């Protein structure tokens, strides 16, 4: 025995009663017989608080050699905990923080060249339901659950649904337009509970060429079923109704940039009657992007140069803010708006405070898409032109109460030039799960078991899940 060396306690005599971390989770869960843990940090977290509870109030606790029981630990570090009880026995534990990682590589169940799977993505509030649009998919199927192997209707488009059980994703549905369509799946949205799906098909021709449509599906006991086929009240040639969609619990927002308009429709009225918002001058492409707060009372609509924010009143939606940027998003609680200006390489963030909206941040960060969690404390910026070879990626920024702290870059494990990862992005309500769509990805794998290294199907597309 070395004189002065600590006496290490046996597992059943551990001097530690518990270890807690926030944010994040301890893996494996705390147990007296485990002496090494990982902390899985949420997306964008720069640090976590560590609390050590000894079994005895008289025990001595040291974290990295300093006497303390509670501290803040930066990410990407290894921390040593020593707890010595009255007998002199010491329990040693190490804690290592881990950044978020890619947890799923998602492909279509019928991938093919040019399908563009991942051109649009949406995720439910709890991060357990995923929708992926493939506007270039070619099957002749109609409605929900049709045959996927007949590729005689070129670029008709499709949407694929997946559900997460524990940490594993499973295929949950395949839906098509109820009519022969073109580019069905150009835009997708899920309700917060993941039970409603809205799909935009901006080139649908009923009433007028490329007037557009939106189809709403509902998850039922036997799978996804069509619920509504929605057209604008006055179909307009090249109006592109459905170029963008967003869903709250019972409110549907639809962008029609060819009309320079956005629509707000109520599910209680069968998605028929609603409000039409438009701006001058014509040609602004107002409606290219729409984003809706969870309760449907705050709406962001983006055009070619600006994003306009509307708030619901008894008299209808009222414009409350205009910000630079043509790629806007609103947080689930409706209190934070972000908008990207790709040409300038700037992202703007605004908050609704006690005295109204104010500019909260401006990032000198190139990005083509933005997304916010429910509280507006996690911001995802998708950057398609990463390294100028269009492989793409994203970065998560997290608000720590004083400033926006950049997190780890999100890069696909099989990232390759022209994948366009991040051209579509989604984040769950808690800011713990991010999805990147990569419609230019070339993998030949199927569903969730494909080989990421395979490049057999050019632009078949993929989606990547990070947690």
Dihedral over Cα of 127, 128, 129, 133: its sign:
positive
Give, in degrees to the nearest 5, the angle at Cα 137 between 135 and 140.
120
Supply the pLDDT for residue 386.
58
Supply the pLDDT for residue 11.
43
State yes or no: pLDDT of 3 exceeds 60.
no
What average pLDDT does this structure show over 271-280? 88
* Alpha carbon separation from 47 to 43, 67, 456 (Å, rounded): 11, 20, 41
Tens of pLDDT along 8-59? 444 457 899 999 999 888 989 999 999 999 998 877 677 889 999 999 999 9
Supply the pLDDT for residue 423.
94
Please tell me the distance from the alpha carbon of residue 306 to that of residue 297, in angstroms, as a whole number: 20
Coil, strand or helix at 254: strand
* Alpha carbon separation from 397 to 155, 345, 373, 464 (Å, rounded): 36, 16, 11, 18
What average pLDDT does this structure show over 379-389? 79
pLDDT band at 385 (very low <50, low <70, confident <90, very high): low
Supply the pLDDT for residue 9.
41
Please tell me the distance from the alpha carbon of residue 86 to that of residue 88, in angstroms, as a whole number: 5
For the chain, which residues make up each domain, given as ranges? 8-98, 102-466
* Cα 6 from chain centroid (whole Å): 48
Tens of pLDDT along 177-221? 988 778 999 999 999 999 999 999 999 999 999 999 999 999 999
The verdict on domain 102-466 having CATH code 3.40.718.10 is no
Tens of pLDDT along 278-336? 987 778 899 999 999 999 999 999 999 999 999 998 888 999 999 999 899 999 999 99
How, if at all, do strands 66-67 and 70-74 pair? unpaired
Q: Which residue has the higher pLDDT, 6 or 382?
A: 382
pLDDT band at 450 (very low <50, low <70, confident <90, very high): confident
The verdict on domain 8-98 having CATH code 3.90.930 is no
pLDDT mean across residues, the chain: 90
């Amino acid at each position: 025995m070395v004189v002065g060396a600590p006496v290490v306690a046996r597992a059943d005599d551990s001097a530690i009663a518990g270890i807690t971390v926030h944010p994040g989770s301890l893996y494996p869960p705390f147990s007296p017989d485990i002496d090494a843990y990982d902390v899985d940090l949420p997306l964008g977290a720069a640090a976590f608080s560590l609390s050590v509870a000894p079994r005895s109030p008289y025990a001595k606790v040291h974290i990295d050699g300093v006497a303390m029981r509670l501290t803040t630990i930066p990410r990407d570090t290894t921390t040593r905990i020593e707890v010595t009880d009255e007998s002199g026995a010491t329990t040693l534990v190490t804690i290592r923080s881990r950044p978020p990682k890619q947890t799923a590589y998602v492909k279509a169940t019928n991938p093919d060249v040019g399908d563009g799977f991942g051109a649009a993505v949406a995720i439910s509030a709890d991060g357990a339901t995923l929708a992926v649009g493939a506007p270039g998919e070619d099957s002749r199927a109609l409605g929900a659950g049709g045959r996927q192997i007949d590729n005689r209707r070129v670029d008709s488009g499709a949407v694929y649904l997946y559900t997460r059980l524990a940490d594993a994703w499973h295929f949950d549905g395949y839906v098509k337009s109820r009519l022969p369509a073109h580019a069905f799946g150009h835009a997708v949205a899920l309700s917060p509970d993941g039970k409603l799906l809205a799909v935009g098909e901006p080139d649908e021709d009923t009433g007028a060429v490329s007037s557009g449509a939106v189809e709403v599906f509902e998850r039922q006991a036997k799978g996804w079923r069509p619920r509504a086929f929605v057209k604008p009240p006055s179909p307009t040639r090249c109006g592109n109704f459905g170029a963008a969609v967003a869903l709250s619990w019972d409110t549907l927002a639809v962008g029609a940039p060819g009309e320079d308009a956005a629509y707000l429709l109520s599910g209680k009225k069968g998605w028929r009657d609603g409000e039409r918002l438009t701006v001058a001058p014509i040609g602004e492409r107002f409606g290219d992007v729409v984003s809706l707060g969870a309760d449907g009372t705050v709406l962001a609509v983006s055009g070619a140069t600006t994003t306009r924010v509307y708030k619901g009143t008894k008299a209808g939606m009222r414009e409350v803010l205009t910000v630079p940027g043509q790629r806007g998003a609103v947080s689930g609680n409706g209190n934070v708006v972000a908008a990207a200006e790709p040409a300038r390489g700037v992202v703007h963030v605004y908050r609704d405070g006690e005295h109204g909206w104010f500019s909260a941040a401006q990032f000198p960060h190139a990005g083509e898409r933005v997304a916010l969690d429910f509280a507006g404390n996690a911001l995802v910026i998708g950057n398609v032109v990463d390294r100028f070879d269009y492989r793409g990626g994203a970065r998560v920024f997290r608000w720590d109460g004083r400033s926006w702290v950049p997190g780890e870059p999100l890069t696909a494990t099989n990232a390759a030039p022209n994948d366009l990862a991040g051209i579509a992005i989604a984040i769950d309500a808690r800011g713990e799960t991010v999805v990147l769509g990569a419609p230019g990805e070339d993998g030949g794998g199927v569903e969730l078991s494909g080989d990421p290294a395979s490049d057999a199907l050019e632009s078949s597309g993929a989606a990547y899940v990070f947690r």
